[in-house]
Amino acid sequence: MRVLLVDDEVDLAESVRRGLTNEGFVVDVAHDGVTGAWLARENPYDVVVLDLMLPGRNGYAVLEEMRAAENWVPVLMLTAKDGEYDQTDAFDLGADDYLTKPFSFLVLVARLRALIRRGAPERPVVLAAGSLELDPVRRTVTRRGQRLELTAKEYVILQYLLQNKEQVVSKLQIMDNAWDADFEGSENIVEVYVGYLRKKIDAPFGLSTLQTVRGMGYRLVSDEPGAPGP
């Protein structure tokens, strides 16, 4: 079982390396993000232990590069930061687990063994409707190869529409998937966000793929030949 450990705390990294070696792991160590990213590209690993705060390139950037290169080896993030946003960002970029320093070595080993048993997950499917693509791992949206910048709410709505492409979905269905139960606003908020999306995914390309179906709701169609008309 081969492990890549990327941590700039030299004493801690050496202690973890010795412990993992005693547990039967083969361990490669890097003390900066640039070296860690290079090792992850050049070698096959069963699991990667990746510190968040690294010189040269931080853990977020290393993880993002790995996933962009379709390297799906399980990654456990290590960090001294304990904020929920740090954890969310790590998971959004494709991390598989998260430990906050200081941590129990026994817990680290148990989690690494669990990740190795689980193995590398299959690459998540990119959602697409013709030239419009949404990558749920990279959290990117592109049309004709051009990256589109969406707000978090726009992204969630578009993801739901793509999951139900070519189908009519009501305002209520969109609200149920994009707003929580405490939201007390009108369904008309959906119209506002649909308008925002059209300005970003359709208008710059001369398209009308986000259609209004009168009295029923909305439908996202492909811009390829043979797609349903308005």
Closest listed residue to residue 162, CA positions, set 137, 128, 190, 209: 128
| CATH among 3.40.50.1400, 1.10.10.10, 3.90.1150.10, 3.40.50.1820 for 127-220 | 1.10.10.10
Per-residue burial over 25-38, b if 16 or more Cβ lie within 10 Å, else e, is: bebbbbbbbebbbe
Cross-strand partners of 29: 5
Length of the chain: 230
Asked whether this chain's domains 2-118 and 127-220 adopt the same fold, the reply is: no
pLDDT digits (tens, 9 = 90+) for 85-137: 456 666 777 788 888 888 999 999 999 999 988 876 666 678 899 999 998 76
| CATH number attached to the domain at 2-118 | 3.40.50.2300
| Residue 230, pLDDT score | 45
Model pLDDT, residue 104: 92
Cβ partners under 8 Å of residue 34, min gap 6: 56, 57
d(C-alpha 182, C-alpha 185), whole Å:
9
Q: Are strands 47-51 and 2-6 parallel, antiparallel or unpaired?
A: parallel
pLDDT per residue, tens digit, the chain (230 aa), is: 789 999 999 999 999 999 999 998 989 999 999 999 999 999 989 999 999 889 999 998 999 889 888 788 999 998 876 555 456 666 777 788 888 888 999 999 999 999 988 876 666 678 899 999 998 767 789 999 899 999 988 998 999 999 899 999 999 889 887 876 667 778 889 999 999 999 999 999 999 999 999 989 999 999 865 444 44
Amino acid at 215: G
The predicted pLDDT at position 161 comes to 94
Domain ranges of the chain: 2-118, 127-220
Point out which residues pair with 133 in neighbouring strands: 128, 142
Question: DSSP assignment of the chain, as one string?
Answer: -EEEEE-S-HHHHHHHHHHHHHTT-EEEEESSHHHHHHHHHHS--SEEEEESS-SSS-HHHHHHHHHHTT----EEEEES---HHHHHHHHHTT--EEEESS--HHHHHHHHHHHHHH-PPPPPPPEEETTEEEETTTTEEEETTEEE---HHHHHHHHHHHHTTTS-B-HHHHHHHHS-TT--S-THHHHHHHHHHIIIIIGGGT---EEEETTTEEEE--SSTT----
Q: What is the pLDDT of residue 180?
A: 66
Residue 230: how many other CB atoms lie within 10 Å: 9
Distance between CA atoms of residues 119 and 95, nearest Å: 13
- Residue 195: count other Cβ atoms within 10 Å of its Cβ: 10
Q: Is the pTM of this model over 0.75?
A: no
What's the pLDDT score for residue 88?
Answer: 65
